[in-house]
C-alpha cells in the first residue's frame, strides 16, 4: 500500500481502535503528533512503534518541534531556544551563530530520530518583518541573507541526524500581522517585493537541498486571490516551475481559519490543496473533518507524490542509549544551555 495524501492526528497517548481503522485507510499517509500525545519517552517510543507497525511502507510521523514556544515534547527532550536567539548572536558573532544553528538542528533532529520519528516541520524560513506575532521569534532574522545562512546551517544539522527538512511558510508569512490560525491574513505587497524579501530565502534553500515546503494560509491579493496553499500559481508556477522545487509540498493544517476560504467542507479544502499542487494535506484537531475527507475524497493516486513522500522517512537509525551516552550529544546539550550567558563562548564541537 502506497502512502496516501492525508496526514491526520490522534487524540491520546495510545492508539484507539478508531485510530487504527482510520490510519489503515489508503488515503492516509502520515500522522502528526502533538503535546497531548506525549507524557514520557518510553510512552512515545511505544506509540511510534505502534503507528509504524500498521502499514508497509510505514506511515510518516511528523511533529512541530522547532524550539522555543513551538516544541511539542519537553520533559525528556532538550529544551531548545527559539531560533531568533541565533539571529541575535549572528549580529555580533556570525560564525558562532551558524555553529549554534547547526548544533540546534542536529540536536532537535537526532533526539526525535532516537524515538523513530521521521521528521519535524522545521525550519521556519519566514523573514521577521516585525509584524507577525505568530511568527515572531520563530524566524531566524529580519535580513533574508542572514535567514539563509542560519537556516542552511540548521538544515545541515538535521541532515546529519538523518532527518529531511521542511521549510515554512512559503512564500513568506512574516509580512502580515494576522495569525492564520484565527484569521485569513492578507498580504498587500507586490510580487517583486515578496520575491526580494521572502521568496529569495526559499529559492536559496532549495538550491541547498531543501526536501519539503509548507505553504502559508495567506492571501497575497495582488498576486492571486487564493491563499498560497490552495493556489496553483504559487505552488505549480512559482515553486515548481520558477524555483525548480522537486520535493514534497505539505499543506498547512486545513482546520486553521486561514484555510476556510477554500470551502466550508474539509473535503473541498483537501481536494483544492491537492489539485493546487500539495502532495499531502494535513487535517488536524477535527476528527469529524478527517473522517469526512476519507469518506468523500475518493481515490487519489499520484505516483510522483508517492516517490516524493518516501523521501521523508527518517534515515540513520539512532539508538537512544548510545546517543545519550555520547560526548557529542552532551556537548550539544551544554552548548544550548550555556550560550545565552556568554555569546562569545568557545563553540568548538
Tens digit of each residue's pLDDT (9 = 90 or more) over 9-62? 999 999 999 999 999 999 999 999 999 999 999 999 999 999 999 999 999 999
Residues serving a catalytic function are 181, 252
pLDDT for position 69 = 94
pLDDT for position 1 = 65
CATH number at residue 246: 3.20.20.300
Does residue 85 fall inside a structural domain? Answer: yes
Q: How sure is the predictor about 246, in pLDDT bands with cuts at 50, 70 and 90?
A: very high
pLDDT for position 257 = 84
Does residue 349 fall inside a structural domain? Answer: no
CA distances from 78 to 58, 108, 308 (A): 27, 8, 30
Does residue 347 fall inside a structural domain? Answer: no
Does residue 55 fall inside a structural domain? Answer: no
CA 250 to chain centre: 8
Q: Position of cell 502580515?
A: 176
Q: What is the rounded average pLDDT for all residues in the chain?
A: 94
Does residue 172 fall inside a structural domain? Answer: yes
Please tell me the pTM assigned to this model: 0.95
Q: How sure is the predictor about 338, in pLDDT bands with cuts at 50, 70 and 90?
A: confident
Does residue 91 fall inside a structural domain? Answer: yes
Residue-number span of the structural domain to which 311 is assigned: 73-341
Does residue 21 fall inside a structural domain? Answer: no
Domain count, the chain: 1
Q: Is-contact 30 61, C-beta < 8 A?
A: yes
Q: Is-contact 144 88, C-beta < 8 A?
A: no
Amino acid at each position: 500500500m502506497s502512502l496516501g495524501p492525508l496526514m491526520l492526528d490522534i487524540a491520546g497517548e495510545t492508539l484507539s481502535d478508531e485510530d487504527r481503522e482510520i490510519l489503515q485507510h489508503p488515503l492516509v499517509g502520515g500522522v502528526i503528533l502533538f503535546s497531548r500525545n506525549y507524557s514520557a519517552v518510553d510512552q512515545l517510543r511505544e506509540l511510534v512503534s505502534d503507528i509504524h507497525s500498521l502499514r508497509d511502507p510505514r506511515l510518516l510521523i511528523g511533529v512541530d518541534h522547532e524550539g522555543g514556544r513551538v516544541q511539542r515534547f519537553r520533559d525528556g527532550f532538550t529544551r531548545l531556544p527559539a531560533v531568533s536567539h541565533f539571529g541575535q548572536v549572528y549580529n555580533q558573532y556570525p560564525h558562532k551563530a551558524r555553529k549554534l544553528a547547526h548544533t540546534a538542528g542536529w540536536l532537535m533532529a537526532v533526539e526525535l530520530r532516537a524515538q523513530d520519528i521521521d521528521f519535524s516541520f522545521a525550519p521556519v524560513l519566514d523573514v521577521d518583518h516585525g509584524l507577525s506575532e505568530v511568527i515572531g521569534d520563530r524566524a531566524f532574522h529580519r535580513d533574508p541573507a542572514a535567514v539563509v545562512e542560519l537556516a542552511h546551517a540548521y538544515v545541515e544539522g538535521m541532515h546529519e541526524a538523518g532527518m529531511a527538512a521542511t521549510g515554512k511558510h512559503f512564500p513568506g508569512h512574516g509580512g502580515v500581522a494576522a495569525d492564520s490560525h484565527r484569521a485569513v491574513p492578507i498580504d498587500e505587497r507586490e510580487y517583486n517585493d515578496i520575491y526580494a524579501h521572502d521568496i529569495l530565502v526559499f529559492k536559496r534553500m532549495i538550491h541547498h537541498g531543501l526536501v519539503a515546503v509548507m505553504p502559508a494560509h495567506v492571501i497575497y491579493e495582488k498576486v492571486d486571490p487564493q491563499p498560497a496553499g490552495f493556489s496553483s500559481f504559487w505552488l505549480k508556477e512559482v515553486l515548481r516551475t520558477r524555483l525548480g522545487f522537486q520535493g514534497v509540498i505539505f499543506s498547512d493544517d486545513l482546520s486553521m481559519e486561514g484555510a476556510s476560504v477554500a470551502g466550508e467542507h474539509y473535503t473541498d479544502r483537501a481536494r483544492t490543496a491537492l489539485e493546487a499542487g500539495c502532495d499531502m494535506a494535513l487535517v488536524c484537531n477535527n476528527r469529524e473533518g478527517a473522517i469526512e475527507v476519507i469518506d468523500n475524497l475518493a481515490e487519489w493516486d499520484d505516483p510522483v507524490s508517492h516517490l516524493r513522500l518516501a523521501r521523508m522517512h527518517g534515515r540513520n537509525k539512532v539508538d537512544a542509549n548510545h546517543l545519550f551516552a555520547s560526548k557529542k550529544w552532551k556537548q550539544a546539550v551544554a552548548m544550548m544551555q550555556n550560550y545565552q550567558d556568554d555569546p562569545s563562548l568557545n563553540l568548538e564541537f
